[in-house]
Structure 1
Amino acid sequence: MTINCNGSLIDLSTPKVMGILNITPDSFYDGGLYKNETQILNQTEKMLTAGATFIDIGAYSSRPGADHVSIEEEKNRILPIVELLVNRFPEILLSIDTFRSEIAKSCINLGAAIINDISGGSLDPDMISVVGELKVPYIMMHMKGSPQTMKDLDQYDDLIGEMNLYFAKKVFEARKNGINDIIIDPGFGFAKNSTQNFNLLQNLKLLKVQELPILVGVSRKSMIYKTLNIKAHMALNGTSVLNTVAVLNGASIIRVHDVKEAVECISLLNTLKESNSYN
């Protein structure tokens, strides 16, 4: 199972790590931490050195109830950073966290490699056709509503069944528009309550019916820190536990704030898997 990123074939048969670089001032965990070029470059280098295959950049916070950001503001935040990182790290595989086709196209033209759309094309009717024209991998997430409304849209009769139907429709549309490399993201915390999040993680393998790589992003989310009655900055251990469960249940990419620890999780699980072959 491979995806083509800027001409490089990335093998997802072994799980990979995607490091999160938030350049928004209001992200739930690390908003505002990376305010200047030096901080951004240092954090990116740290993640790459620790073993991140991809770096995911977002300039529009998608946390529940996040403020709306204009397309002009999103452009002003993200385009200079894409240019900065591509120039400093020519081999970097940048994933662009945006639901706007105009942002997607501008970033890919600057050298980014992947589009990561929290709405799966639902918030911009041009997104899927534009990604098809760009011929880049597309991460489509499951979400209902928008970051401003999703908190009240967690009603399901059959969560997994409805998600599989959602992805089947989205994948059909993506294929029709020429998108070859598709990754699905269950969208933990997006129009899902804590109980639903844990149920989804436990039954992640049921999404494998799509026969596509699965990306899981649970890093330091409220399903961890609220369950443990701690703060997000204390949720690394819980994140490592759930990342381990995600990989055991079929995740091909884990999207994280803490790359070193995620790489260690995958390394240990790979060793465990290899040890079984000697029995």
Structure 2
Amino acid sequence: MMSATRRSSKPTGQPQGYDLRRLLERRTPAVMGVLNITPDSFSDGGQFDTPERALAQAGRMIAEGADILDIGAESTRPYGGQQAVSAEEEMQRLRAVLADVVALGTPVSIDTMKARVADWALGQGVAMANDVWGLQRDPDMAAVVASHGVPVIVMHNRDTVDPALDIIADIRAFFDRTLEIATKAGISGDKIVLDPGIGFGKTPEQSMTALARLTTLQGFGCPILVGASRKRFIASVVASEPQQRLGGSIAAHLLAGQNGAKIIRAHDVAETVQALRVAAAIEDKR
């Protein structure tokens, strides 16, 4: 197993690992802003792949109300067509901007499926890990997360799409395996966030089923993250391109919040924050 002790000193004054207990006390879900510094992400590839544009976008999302920034340097686009990159290339992309993004003071999550990249980024002041394969793809990921003592987002994923699959049963079985891996590695349950993986290894109907039955995941006792932003299932209801799916994204995220999601991962931060706050204000009048 790789050593998880090789890390740089944490930048002075930066936030420690994100305290998930704060999520349980919020009236509205936390909003995680998506920062893709990639050339090929499905909806914004190439828009923020220079340090200047990436840093400007990070600052913009913070000003718009983002509680967390999720930075990724390798596309994990759920519909195929992405170009796999080495850990070295992924870290090279991150080196150009990560320190400046962390220095903005808002907790940062590293979106990577590679333990080596996560280990390096967490040593640079990143506060959370976000693994789109739920600790099940890279055998060293769980040990790295445990060694840094930070929270981890674990997402349900599949290599293939099976329309006949009971997707809720599959998600629950996947998370059972993930939590077993986490426990063996020494990751405490209060540091785990579950993400049903909207759009990943699922038909549009299965993605909507996962959203509709989100409450079935509450039995795991972990906060739930939902990232439905600009996903293709929206186009199965109303024909649209990724940049035209703001309305559908907000509809899905409002319902996710009503069904217990504690983190909403979104590209359009200002609109998402506004929608969640207005919904909460209306609910207060009941």
Normalising by structure 2, we get a TM-score of 0.88
**How far is 1:177 from its partner?**
1.6
Tell me the distance in 2 between the aligned counterparts of 1:244 and 1:166. 25
Letter paired with 1:81: V
Q: 2:257 aligns with which of 238, 241, 247?
A: 247
Q: What are the residue-to-residue correspondences of 1:170-249 with 2, within 5 Å?
A: 170-180=178-188, 181-249=191-259
Per-residue displacement from partner, 1:116-140 (whole Å, max 9, x unpaired)? 0000122210000110111000000
Could you say which residue in structure 1 is the equivalent of 2:128?
114
Tell me the distance in 2 between the aligned counterparts of 1:94 and 1:80. 15
Say if 2:17 and 2:149, in contact at 8 Å, map to a contact too.
Answer: no
Letter paired with 2:153: I
Say if 1:86 and 1:112, in contact at 8 Å, map to a contact too.
Answer: yes
Could you say which residue in structure 2 is the equivalent of 1:149?
none
Tell me the distance in 2 between the aligned counterparts of 1:155 and 1:176. 33
Letter paired with 2:270: K
Tell me the distance in 2 between the aligned counterparts of 1:130 and 1:162. 26
Are the structure 2 counterparts of residues 171 and 156 from structure 1 closer, same or farther at C-alpha, using a change threshold of 3 Å? farther
Could you say which residue in structure 2 is the equivalent of 1:164?
172
Tell me the distance in 2 between the aligned counterparts of 1:133 and 1:19. 26
**Are 1:59 and 2:101 counterparts?**
no
Per-residue displacement from partner, 1:93-146 (whole Å, max 9, x unpaired)? 11000011110010011110000000012221000011011100000000122x
Structure 2 regions of 5+ residues with no counterpart? Answer: 1-14
Tell me the distance in 2 between the aligned counterparts of 1:115 and 1:73. 18
**Are 1:29 and 2:43 counterparts?**
yes
Are the structure 2 counterparts of residues 268 and 158 from structure 1 closer, same or farther at C-alpha, using a change threshold of 3 Å? same
Tell me the distance in 1 between the aligned counterparts of 2:138 and 2:18. 28
Are the structure 2 counterparts of residues 7 and 73 from structure 1 closer, same or farther at C-alpha, using a change threshold of 3 Å? closer
Q: What are the residue-to-residue correspondences of 1:27-106 with 2, within 5 Å?
A: 27-63=41-77, 64-65=79-80, 66-87=82-103, 89=104, 91-106=105-120
Per-residue displacement from partner, 1:189-227 (whole Å, max 9, x unpaired)? 111000111111111111111111110011011111343
Per-residue displacement from partner, 1:2-48 (whole Å, max 9, x unpaired)? xxx61563511221000000001001111000132221121111100
Q: Secondary structure at the match of 1:9?
A: coil
Say if 2:135 and 2:141, in contact at 8 Å, map to a contact too.
Answer: yes
Q: Secondary structure at the match of 1:229?
A: coil
Q: Secondary structure at the match of 1:57?
A: strand
Q: Secondary structure at the match of 1:128?
A: helix
Normalising by structure 1, we get a TM-score of 0.90
Moved beyond 6 Å, runs of 4+? none
**Are 1:128 and 2:142 counterparts?**
yes
Tell me the distance in 1 between the aligned counterparts of 2:59 and 2:251. 25
Q: Secondary structure at the match of 1:42?
A: helix
Tell me the distance in 1 between the aligned counterparts of 2:18 and 2:229. 27
**How far is 1:258 from its partner?**
0.5
**Are 1:6 and 2:16 counterparts?**
yes
Letter paired with 1:45: G
Tell me the distance in 1 between the aligned counterparts of 2:87 and 2:135. 16
Tell me the distance in 1 between the aligned counterparts of 2:163 and 2:43. 26
Letter paired with 2:23: L
**How far is 1:156 from its partner?**
5.2
Letter paired with 1:205: T
Say if 1:135 and 1:179, in contact at 8 Å, map to a contact too.
Answer: yes
Q: Secondary structure at the match of 1:184?
A: strand
Q: How many residues were matched structurally?
A: 264
Could you say which residue in structure 1 is the equivalent of 2:282?
272
Structure 1 regions of 5+ residues with no counterpart? Answer: 146-151
